[in-house]
Amino acid sequence: MPPPRPALAFAAASLLALTACGTGTEEAKGADGLTVVASAYPLQFLAERIGGDQVSVSNLTKAGGEPHDVELSPRSLVDLRQADLVIYQSDFQPAVDDAVADLDNAHDVVPAAHLELTATDDGHDHGGDASTGSAKAAPDPHFWLDPTKYADVADDVAEQFAQADPAHAAGYRTRAQELRGELDDLDREFTAGLAHCAQDELVTNHAAFGYLAAAYGLHQEAVTGLSPESEASPQDLADAIAHLREHGITTVYAETLLPTNVVDTIARDSGADVLVLDPVEGVTEESSGRDYLEIMRANLTTLERGQQCR
């Protein structure tokens, strides 16, 4: 047998290279479904529930990370470009806003979430970040803690999936409808559970629970503001303690992903108890449940106890 001609050897090498390349792409893209990047856990959960087997979902915020101040790795930036669809919310994670600015595969869920609360709507007026003076009040991003708002965003995500992958549109819409049913159940449980509480003042660490409070007749007073990175000043602590005394509040809430020192200080100085609420910004071993629905039900049980509901 004669040795292979140079042209044939070249063709074989090219074929090998192509195959290797194709395999890599296949792994990144999944079989024939959509690859979706979600910017934080609440959108990851929606994407997974609505996408079912048709979608492979990754999360820019790693498990146990706090999403507000996420930093994106070079790998994440590549994933964002290669994804069929990026689901994010503007004005929540500055690093994500920057990263999606020049992408045309990114969808902002904020219009569907109807963010009508701002930092100053929680009753205390710290004027936002003191260093920026008269900065306009930032919208409260934590819409998912109101299950009815979360269901509206689920519908929006389903429509995005349907447009990106029309062959599976019916499945996306059906699963969004099923999820809405579960979120309606959750909403009913919260309404009933928090209907008769001795205390309607809710003192939290960062101001994540404004939409939940608004939906169920509570009034949130947060120690640190909309983002957990905003440091609590001695004045913030003094204000919180005065607020506890004024309203006879006996429970303050720490959070799963945050250090408890701020809340512990307030509790020590005021004699209040500390319970832990979870703003569902990430799921870890320490979380009170395995997913959004379980964690929200644990939050309800905690609130019924802390707000003395019957």
User: To the nearest whole angstrom, how small is the minimum distance from the Cβ of residue 217 to Zn ion?
Assistant: 22
User: To the nearest whole angstrom, how small is the minimum distance from the Cβ of residue 209 to Zn ion?
Assistant: 9
Q: Does 112 bind Zn ion (CB under 5 A)?
A: no
Helix (H, G, I), strand (E, B) or coil at 203: strand
Instruction: Tell which one of 40, 119, 208, 283 touches Zn ion (CB under 5 A).
Output: 208
Which residue, 208 or 212, is less far from Zn ion as judged by CB? 208
User: To the nearest whole angstrom, how small is the minimum distance from the Cβ of residue 281 to Zn ion?
Assistant: 5
Helix (H, G, I), strand (E, B) or coil at 81: helix
Look-up: residue for tokens 């990047």?
Answer: 37
Q: Does 207 bind Zn ion (CB under 5 A)?
A: no
User: To the nearest whole angstrom, how small is the minimum distance from the Cβ of residue 309 to Zn ion?
Assistant: 24
Among the residue ranges 40-48, 175-183, 208-216, 237-245, the one whose residues contact Zn ion (CB under 5 A): 208-216
Candidates 46, 19, 48; CA nearest to 34 is: 48
Helix (H, G, I), strand (E, B) or coil at 101: coil
Q: Does 254 bind Zn ion (CB under 5 A)?
A: no
Binding track over 164-203 against Zn ion, x by CB under 5 A: ----------------------------------------
Is residue 51 within 8 Å of residue 172, measured between CB atoms?
yes
Walk across the sheet containing 219-222 and list its strands. Answer: 219-222, 201-204, 251-255, 273-277
Ramachandran sector of residue 114 (left: φ over 0; alpha: ψ -120 to 50; beta: rest) = left
* Site of interaction with Zn ion (CB under 5 A): 208
